[in-house]
Structure 1
């Protein structure tokens, strides 16, 4: 066997190992993103043209989130927000649409104090998706109902559901103590 034969064999082996390594790393990254983003991973993949583009967006979300100064609430702040939430729930009986609007504002206030940017809803979703992917659909649904309530296009039952959805994210934000979960 000639030297060129062995060089070809080595090149083929090196290429095969590189391809297997690349596939393994890609699968490892995909598994990491699925675990980190939960249902948000599948939603983003379904919305984008291809999986690579979706995964790149999720990686960019992680990078942006890592640059944020997300911090836990103090015990005093937690107590204050919990009391305010109780007051909002009590107002629901007499003014459900107003209470839902207040719930949305309260969730946004907690986010701001925790260090999340709150400039627009889509950016809030993106930032929350990194550490709160499991409750993100609650937030989306509540926000959508809140928008309909502002136009007087929602039923009392929908408003009640919005409060339940807001509470899911509110409680998670209120009690989270570690960065990025």
Structure 2
């Protein structure tokens, strides 16, 4: 039984992680540890993080999808896990907003996969009733900035010391779009 939507477009498939993905996921993460270190948020040293098994991690994500507090997806290409896209920190009520985040295996960069995956996740988020999505990007992350630009997100400004990444609090540029913004980019033409 699927534990969430499966989205597919132009050879890119988004789906929930399953307990049986553990070995492939752990290998993907291990191969890309150094590649992601400069961009991926972590807990600051004073925060207490409990170790979580992969099975517990997939259960947590299933609960987040059910509660619509986050929409985490694994990215697949040719039935291989190659990355991640997530609509996280969903706020309902009057705000109806969330953050959009993503990463990909270093060996799959430059192919438009993350741009397509981000468009698919954003389209789904808007379809279920979110009004605004933000992408927070470190200023020096040119590849991630290109993704936001290709998807016609508007740069709104800088948040100082926004996320703890690679051992320090890092500034981020904020890009956003709303459900009402036109979607002229070819990446918004998602099927299914």
Larger Rg: 1
TM over 0.5: no
Q: TM-score, normalised by structure 2?
A: 0.22
Q: TM-score, normalised by structure 1?
A: 0.23
Question: Which of the two has greater helix per residue?
Answer: 1
User: Higher RCO, 1 or 2 (CA under 8 Å, sep at least 6)?
Assistant: 1
